[in-house]
Amino acid sequence: MCSVPKCPTFADCQQPRLKLRRAEKHLNDVKTTIDTFINNKPYTFVVEANPEPPNYVIIARMKQPAPDDELSVTIGDFAHNARSALDLLVY
């Protein structure tokens, strides 16, 4: 005999909502970090002569380093919290 799972109540969804809220905060932090990096114009483009066709080369040079390892940790935290919210809904 199959048992029908009970419909989740508001209390059952509290933990997943908290996890999703935390994931959203991490995602906003990632967006802010990337937007700040891009808005600072961290690169320049240089056109240099090239003896072979197409007779020029466009080179992008970074003026500042890319965001540090903290960004990858924040992305990992976002993924973990989003996945945990799904797990909490299912189990």
Report CA torsion sign: 78, 80, 86, 91.
negative
Could you give the CA distance from residue 74 to residue 67 in angstroms, rounded to a whole number? 11
Give the pLDDT score at 35.
Answer: 95
Give the pLDDT score at 91.
Answer: 76
Q: Which segments within 1-91 are labelled E, that is strand?
A: 43-49, 56-62
pLDDT digits (tens, 9 = 90+) for 32-75: 999 999 999 999 999 999 888 888 999 999 998 888 889 999 99
47 Cβ neighbours under 8 A, 6+ residues apart: 56, 57, 58, 59
pLDDT digits (tens, 9 = 90+) for 7-34: 556 566 789 999 999 999 999 999 999 9
Q: Is the pLDDT of residue 4 over 80?
A: no
* pTM for the structure as a whole: 0.70
- Give the pLDDT band of residue 78 (cuts 50, 70, 90): very high
Radius of gyration of the chain (CA): 23
Q: Is the pLDDT of residue 5 over 90?
A: no
